[in-house]
């Protein structure tokens, strides 16, 4: 199914027509990009946004239609009803490619990627030099579901295509090592805003320190390390709480590890977008005990709400966190070090915590401004001939 509702005459011929191709699971990444580019660079570009909804329920078609209309964004909406591996998806992917071809874009920014079939057929419809491929994971995560298939497909994309957006300097180093000679640009994700926090609900003091673990629970995210750390901390401190919020396919395995149940509030289900702001409003720290990371949308959600982060000292985190200034870092897999950093957080006085928050705000303003990030997109797009 396709819907189109152009808000201006697309027969106008701006300098460059760009199609943004976005999957539902990356809508929160591309949504602020499309909005900013369409607003700030509307004289240089005509942007047409193709959105593929996969039935996750994270975004409603009506909400996206309203968003695009309010922001004068040209858009089309597709709905992918079949499961990922269903071979009939080939026909769905071909339909997308035919639609893009009819639009005759000068550039295609692709964060849909059409796993696991689409880009084997792209060359029959469109020149591959037109694509800028958004690669979030140059290397696939630890114990990622369908890791072998994803590794094969992403490797094919990175070998075959010419132009790439990589989201962190660490991942760019890995990419350039394996795929030299490609055209790339590196810019981080935008801050992820899921709506305002009610001032009445935001924590104002630190008499009880509140930690948050948020997001889909997978083995690489190290929730077992956090639970073990809380078990240890709970023997010494009573003035802290941990909220675990996210979907998990094997929660019972984690639940068995909990020895200090009074320290936890567990919300194990899909978290609706409307719930996210208040979850962060009730947190002093986000905890990310990941075993590996490329870049973290959850971290950028915390930063949007000015919540400091305790995270593993991996390059994907050290790019954002200055230890003991705007957050805390601990050695990968080291539970005792995680305990130490959480203890440091618990022992911070109110005024010391507020200083940390102010330093975080300064870092965000300097390094993650929407204007600076969007300019990197534009510079790269303009450089492509």
Which neighbouring-strand residues pair with 47?
18
Find the DSSP H helices in 215-328: 223-233, 251-255, 276-281, 297-304, 315-318
- CA-closest candidate to residue 281, choices 263, 307, 308: 307
Phi-psi region of 333 (alpha: psi -120 to 50; beta: other; left: phi over 0): left
**Predicted local distance difference test score (pLDDT) of residue 187:** 92
Q: Which SS3 state, helix, strand or coil, does residue 48 take?
A: strand
**CA distance from start to end of the chain:** 33
**Predicted local distance difference test score (pLDDT) of residue 146:** 63
Distance CA 161, CA 3 (A): 29
H/E segment holding residue 79: strand 74-79
**Predicted local distance difference test score (pLDDT) of residue 204:** 67
Q: Considering just the CA atoms, what is the radius of gyration of the chain in Å?
A: 22
Phi, then psi, of 154 in degrees rounded to 5: -65, -35
Which neighbouring-strand residues pair with 52?
23, 78
Regions of the chain short of the pLDDT cut 50: 1-3, 7-14
Q: Which SS3 state, helix, strand or coil, does residue 77 take?
A: strand
**Predicted local distance difference test score (pLDDT) of residue 111:** 95
Distance of CA 339 to the CA centre of its chain: 27
Find the DSSP H helices in the chain: 27-40, 61-70, 89-103, 147-160, 169-178, 223-233, 251-255, 276-281, 297-304, 315-318, 335-347, 350-367, 370-383
Domains and CATH numbers, the chain: 3-190+369-383 (3.40.50.2000), 209-367 (3.40.50.2000)
pLDDT tens per residue across span 129-144: 999 999 988 876 655 6
- CA-closest candidate to residue 192, choices 379, 329, 364: 364
Phi, then psi, of 20 in degrees rounded to 5: -95, 125
pLDDT tens per residue across span 268-327: 999 998 899 999 999 999 999 999 888 788 999 999 999 999 999 998 899 899 999 999
Distance CA 11, CA 86 (A): 37
Whether the CB-CB separation of 29 and 297 falls below 8 Å is answered with yes
**Predicted local distance difference test score (pLDDT) of residue 141:** 60
Which neighbouring-strand residues pair with 51?
22, 77
Q: Which SS3 state, helix, strand or coil, does residue 49 take?
A: strand
Distance CA 269, CA 266 (A): 9
Please tell me the pTM assigned to this model: 0.80
């Amino acid at each position: 199914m396709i819907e189109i509702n152009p808000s201006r005459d697309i027969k106008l011929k701006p300098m460059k027509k760009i199609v943004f191709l976005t999957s539902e699971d990356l809508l929160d990444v591309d949504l602020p990009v499309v909005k900013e580019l369409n607003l700030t660079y509307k004289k240089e570009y005509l942007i047409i946004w193709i959105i593929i909804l996969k039935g996750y329920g994270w975004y409603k078609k009506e909400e996206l239609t309203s968003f695009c209309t309010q922001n004068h964004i040209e858009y089309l909406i597709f709905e992918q009803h079949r499961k990922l591996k269903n071979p009939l998806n080939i026909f769905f992917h071909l339909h997308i490619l035919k639609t893009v071809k009819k639009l005759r874009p000068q550039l295609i920014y692709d964060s849909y990627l059409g796993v696991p079939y689409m880009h084997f057929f792209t060359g029959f419809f469109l020149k591959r030099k037109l694509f800028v491929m958004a690669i979030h994971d140059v290397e696939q995560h630890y114990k990622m579901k369908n890791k072998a298939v994803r590794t094969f497909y992403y490797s094919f994309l990175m070998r075959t295509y010419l132009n790439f957006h990589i989201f962190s300097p660490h991942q760019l180093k890995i990419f350039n090592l394996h795929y030299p000679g490609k055209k790339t640009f590196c810019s981080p994700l935008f801050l992820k805003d899921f709506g305002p926090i009610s001032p009445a609900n935001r924590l104002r003091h630190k008499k009880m320190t509140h930690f948050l673990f948020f997001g889909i629970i997978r083995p690489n995210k190290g929730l077992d390390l956090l639970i073990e750390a809380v078990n240890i901390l709970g023997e010494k401190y009573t003035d802290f709480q941990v909220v675990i919020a996210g979907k998990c396919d094997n929660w019972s395995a984690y639940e068995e590890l909990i020895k200090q149940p009074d320290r936890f509030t567990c919300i194990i289900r899909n978290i609706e977008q409307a719930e996210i702001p208040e979850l962060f409003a009730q947190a002093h720290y986000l905890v990310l005990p990941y075993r590996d990371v490329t870049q973290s949308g959850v971290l950028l959600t915390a930063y949007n709400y000015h919540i400091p982060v305790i995270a593993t000292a991996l390059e994907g985190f050290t790019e954002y966190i200055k230890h003991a200034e705007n957050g805390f870092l601990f050695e990968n897999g080291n539970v005792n070090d995680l305990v130490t950093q959480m203890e440091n957080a618990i022992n911070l006085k109110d005024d010391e915590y507020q200083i940390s928050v102010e330093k975080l705000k300064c870092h965000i303003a300097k390094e993650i401004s929407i204007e600076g990030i969007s300019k990197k997109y534009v510079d790269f797009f303009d450089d492509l001939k």
